Amino acid sequence: MAYVMIIDDDEDFALSTADVLESEGHEVKVKLRPDTALASMAERTPDLLIVDVMFPEDASAGFALSRRIRAQSEELKQVPIILLTGLNSKFPLGFGKRDINDDWLPVQAFLEKPIDHDVLAKRVEEILAGTPEGDSETA
């Protein structure tokens, strides 16, 4: 299947998500810090990334990481990114799919935490299959 990298500081969430995706046949690598993710991607390019927005050291690290990934190399520009966040539950900002664009938010999907693992697994499959956005997008 696919090689998926999860970048999220919530270790329990990341590991449980990895278990779900591995049960679907994917190979999964978990990175708990955004600063270690790019180095890992240089060693092996993932087929899909799942990136959290908020990290303890920077509440918008996922946004910055997504932009850095796109600027890193031509190969990484093509890797689909699912951005996960609890921003909308913490702040009344209303982030959603309308905010996705190549410069500011270069991702394929924006999903709100907490997310049901089955919904996330379905969205992973849709994106890997090249299926247009389905009803599983919650934001």
Q: Is residue 38 part of a domain?
A: yes
Q: Is residue 83 part of a domain?
A: yes
| Full domain range(s) for residue 119 | 3-128
DSSP character for 114?
A: S
Domain total in the chain: 1
Q: Is residue 139 part of a domain?
A: no
Q: Is residue 138 part of a domain?
A: no
Both ends of the chain: CA-CA distance in Å? 27
3-state secondary structure of 95: coil
pLDDT tens sequence for the chain (139 residues): 899 999 999 999 999 999 999 999 999 999 999 989 999 999 999 999 999 998 998 988 998 999 999 888 889 999 999 999 875 455 555 555 655 556 557 788 888 888 899 999 999 999 999 976 654 344 4
Q: Is residue 12 part of a domain?
A: yes
Q: Is residue 17 part of a domain?
A: yes
- State the pTM of this model: 0.86
Q: Is residue 134 part of a domain?
A: no
Domain CATH code at residue 29: 3.40.50.2300
